[in-house]
Amino acid sequence: MAELVYDETGRLLFTKEMKEEYTILIPMMMPTHFNIMKSVLIHNGYKMELLDTDGPEIAQTGLKYVHNDTCYPALLVIGQLIHALESGKYDIHKTALMITQTGGGCRASNYIHLLRKALHKAGLDFVPIISLNLSGLEKNPGFSLTLPMIRELAAGLVYGDVIMLAANQTRPYEITKGQTNALVEKWTQKISEEFANGYGYKTKEIEESLYEICKEFSQIKVKRVPKVKVGVVGEIYVKYARLGNNDLERFLSEQDCEVCLPGLMGFVMFKVDNRLEDIKLYGGNKLKYSVVNMLMNFLKKMEKMIIDCTKKYGFLPPSSYNHTKELVKGVIGYGSKMGEGWLLTAEMLELAETGFENIVCTQPFGCLPNHINGKGAVRKIKSINPKANIVTIDYDPGAPKVNQENRIKLMLAVAREELEKTISKNSKKKK
């Protein structure tokens, strides 16, 4: 059995032996993206498992081990991990945990530390935690992101975004129910297999697959009837994770809406761009600037692929990062970078601009950056785009689903009224 090794600060390390013996648990956030990500790690030699558990016990476990006023995503993610460890399903002496760490002035940078505290409280100090980040925080001898892995993960991000977008624009209109989901499933698998065979992460290969994906989604038979279009923005975890938002996407689709979730690419570019903005605003190293700028340009190339392939097959493509950024000028400064920062506001403006005027802005109860960029910006957004119909929803372990859905239904009632107005206007025009 692998020996427990600590670094000089006393942090338990994930060793090379552990790589052989341990299963790594990672909490689910976005199904398509994370499944692809999982397969990247698996074929690079790690034993991985994605936790997609749910139920009230998870929040209860979180409440037990984390300060109750901590943000909801921390409660859930930590609750989910410890709940899994306590479930008896895993050999806890051969299990490691992995969570992402972004850094930055928000509370979220502290999740990994809160997780350690929680493990300690639960008597599970011997479980190693791996921080997944690109900033070089917390290195482990048994885990390293190699360049090929980074390229695969980046490719996975692009695939994930395109599949999510195409599926969201197809599913509400499909004639044979289930076709879209089957295609999502198929491509998730196919990409995973390709990665395992060393294929699918070179630019050329990505491009080919993307066009193939879009083509196949566009071939699903649909009936385009006018539906209420709802965009979802917010704190990244509650925005994407069904555990965090009480399965908001499903609720909205049950209400017969077309849902748009802005992709992950924008967020990644935002986080990279922040480094450039910091230097622009406050001064700094020119060399660092040009290195980061190179990365930014690489991401822009990837982004262009997403836009081009979706456009070609008649999907509504995401706006370019540059355009989205331009939209928020004069509303929130580019220095507002904690959490989702100005991007959150920008995404609302973008959604409203592209026909998704009905917006659910999700946030954990008491989310600090969202005071600024979410709730704090709604008024301004409405003055810029009076059609914007925004509802802000707080998520926390005590907020009952029924109240949240009631508020969303109100937003939808107004949305339907507007939709009917548009339909009757259009039919009059035709006459």
Positions in 332-391 near another protein (CB under 8 A): 332-339, 365-373, 375-380, 382, 386
d(CA 376, CA 370): 7
User: What's the closest the beta carbon of residue 338 comes to another protein, in angstroms?
Assistant: 4
Return the SS3 of 359. Answer: strand
User: What's the closest the beta carbon of residue 241 comes to another protein, in angstroms?
Assistant: 19
d(CA 401, CA 395): 9
C-beta of 93 vs 387, nearer to another protein: 387
> What is the contact mask toward another protein in residues 69 to 108, using x (rule: CB under 8 A)?
xxx--------------------------------xxxx-
End-to-end CA distance of the chain: 78
User: What's the closest the beta carbon of residue 44 comes to another protein, in angstroms?
Assistant: 28
User: What's the closest the beta carbon of residue 174 comes to another protein, in angstroms?
Assistant: 24
Helix 286-312 to helix 203-218 angle (10° resolution) is: 30
Q: Which of residues 285-314 bind another protein (CB under 8 A)?
A: none
Q: Which of residues 119-138 bind another protein (CB under 8 A)?
A: 121-122
C-beta of 32 vs 345, nearer to another protein: 345
d(CA 33, CA 29): 8
Q: Which of residues 316-335 bind another protein (CB under 8 A)?
A: 331-335
User: What's the closest the beta carbon of residue 57 comes to another protein, in angstroms?
Assistant: 8
C-beta of 155 vs 352, nearer to another protein: 352
C-beta of 168 vs 373, nearer to another protein: 373
Interface with another protein (CB under 8 A), residue from 19, 116, 229, 242: 116
C-beta of 300 vs 375, nearer to another protein: 375
Q: Which of residues 156-215 bind another protein (CB under 8 A)?
A: none
How many residues interact with another protein (rule CB under 8 A)? Answer: 77
Q: Which of residues 20-39 bind another protein (CB under 8 A)?
A: none
C-beta of 178 vs 400, nearer to another protein: 400
User: What are the start-end ranges of the E strands in 56-125?
Assistant: 95-100
| The two three-digit tokens of residue 352, written as one number | 């409203």
| Residues 6+ away with beta carbon under 8 Å from 125 | 12, 119
Distance of alpha carbon 430 from the chain centroid: 41
Q: Which of residues 249-288 bind another protein (CB under 8 A)?
A: 278, 281-284
User: What's the closest the beta carbon of residue 366 comes to another protein, in angstroms?
Assistant: 5
d(CA 350, CA 331): 13
User: What are the start-end ranges of the E strands in 107-155?
Assistant: 129-132
d(CA 101, CA 112): 7
C-beta of 122 vs 419, nearer to another protein: 122
d(CA 370, CA 393): 11
Residue 334 dihedral angles phi and psi, to the nearest 5°:
-70, -10
User: What's the closest the beta carbon of residue 282 comes to another protein, in angstroms?
Assistant: 3
User: What's the closest the beta carbon of residue 417 comes to another protein, in angstroms?
Assistant: 8
User: What's the closest the beta carbon of residue 28 comes to another protein, in angstroms?
Assistant: 20
Q: What is the DSSP letter of 22?
A: P
Neighbour-count burial for 40-63, b at 16+ CB within 10 Å, e otherwise: bbbbbebbbebbebbeeebbebbb
Q: How far is CA 44 from CA 36, 101, 155, 402, in A?
A: 13, 21, 15, 44
Q: In DSSP terms, which residues pair with 50 in a beta bridge? A: 26
Interface with another protein (CB under 8 A), residue from 189, 285, 406, 426: 406
Counting contacts by CB under 8 A, is residue 139 touching another protein? no
